[in-house]
Structure 1
Amino acid sequence: MKAGLSAHHQRLAQSKREAITAAATRLFLERGYDGTSLAKIAQEAVVSKSTLFKQFPTKAALFEAIVTEYWNGGPDLASPTVPPGDLSAGLSAIGRRYADLIGRPEMAALFRIVVAELPRFPELGRAQFELGKLPYFISVQRYLEAEHNAGTAVVLDAQSATNQFLGMIANYVLWPRMLLADWNPSPADVRHAVEEAVTTMLARYDRSSVGGQPAGEDPA
């Protein structure tokens, strides 16, 4: 019985948490970060103030939770854990996950909040970078380093390679959405953008494409 009640309470707490983060994101966009109070968020989320403060004692803590949750994106979009061994398959899997993640309207909304409030609240940008983008970036960088160490790729600068790969996808999926209200590429167009990014990476880093050098040797 206790286990059943515990599961029920966990679902209820998660439901309230989702209502809070959704209301906060909406209000941050409408009123700005500074113009939104925790009391108003509680009202919009239809939860008590005590419930909100129990989960998020400060507005900064709430924003950081939003950043973390959006970048995690749920179990299907969590930071890449693709094993090395097949560079094409690995990059394709990571690319699709990344496109799905940054293509969500909530992600564009999060970036808009940060950009709008950055001059007055630089800590929002820091939270977005350190809690969201950076951990995801590092996970992709480690994957490329693993492919290099496995001998399936020649990636002497995994940091630059990660920038190239994620940048090619974001430049099509995310950044136009920041400026164009009607930017909504079809799933087929997004898949094509990811495939082109993968093809470019393979041409540059796949071991067979750069002369078959063993891991650690400069192809130059």
Structure 2
Amino acid sequence: MSGDVTTYHQRVAREKRALIVTAATALFLEQGYDRTSLARIAESSGVSRATLFKQFPSKAALFDAIVTESWSSADEADPPPAGDIVEGLGTLGRRYAELLGRPRMTDLFRIVIAELPRFPELAHAQFAHGKMPYFEALRSYLVAEHEQGTVRIDDVDLAATQFLGMISNYVFWPTLLVPGWEVSAERAAEVVDEAVRTTAARYATTGGRPGPAAGGS
């Protein structure tokens, strides 16, 4: 019985946390980070101030949670095993495109860009808690492939940046700048496949099997 009660309370806490994060994101977009108080967020999310402060003792902690949850992957799995650069990059590229395609990701960047002059720490939080962990996962994967001999990469940081940039420059950044820009799931898959082909053609050794990405058209 106690286990059921604990599970119930955990589920309620998760639900309230999700309500808080959703309300905070909307208010930050509408009113700005500086003009949005935790009390207003509690009111908008329908939770008590005590509940909100228990979960998030400060507005900065709440923003960090928004960043972390925006970058978290639904199928958060270990990096693919080294040995097949096309398959591995395809897996990581599809995860990245899926993350960038989430509406909350666009909201997050709009908040950061709007508040950057007054709150540069928001950009730091976005980079440190969001983009950087994903970048490091890709970097570690490329290092593993290099050590196995499937690729030869002298500058892993540059290679990782190039790969992610080929995806984000089509799938994500135009959504912030071009009215009506939309990328279908099929088109996003094509973009990832081309990024994989380009990276494999540049860095794969004979055993790295450069060529069409798995699942490509």
Under TM normalisation by the shorter chain, which class is it?
over 0.9
Q: Does 1:58 align with 2:58?
A: yes
Unmatched segments (≥5 aa) in structure 2: 209-217
Q: Does 1:178 align with 2:196?
A: no
| 1:17-56: CA deviation from partner (whole Å, max 9, x where unpaired) | 0000000000000000011110111111100000000000
Aligned residues: 208
Runs of 4+ displaced beyond 2 Å: none
Separation of aligned partners in 2, 1:181 and 1:40: 31
Matched to 2:86, the amino acid is S
Q: Identity, % of aligned pairs?
A: 54
Normalising to structure 2: TM-score of the pair? 0.93
The higher-RCO structure (CA 8 Å, 6+ apart) is 2
Q: Is residue 140–residue 162 contact of structure 1 (8 Å, CA) maintained in 2?
A: yes
Counterpart of 1:218 in structure 2 is none
Unmatched segments (≥5 aa) in structure 1: 211-220
**SS in structure 2 at match of 1:116:** helix
**SS in structure 2 at match of 1:182:** coil
Query: What is the CA distance between 1:58 and its match in structure 2?
Result: 0.6
List aligned pairs for 1:47-196, cutoff 5 A.
47-74=47-74, 76=75, 78=76, 81-196=79-194
With over 3 angstroms needed to count, the CA separation of the structure-2 counterparts of 1:79 and 1:62, relative to structure 1, is farther
Matched to 1:57, the amino acid is P
Separation of aligned partners in 2, 1:209 and 1:197: 19
With over 3 angstroms needed to count, the CA separation of the structure-2 counterparts of 1:97 and 1:157, relative to structure 1, is same
Matched to 2:33, the amino acid is Y
Separation of aligned partners in 2, 1:181 and 1:104: 17
RMSD: 1.3
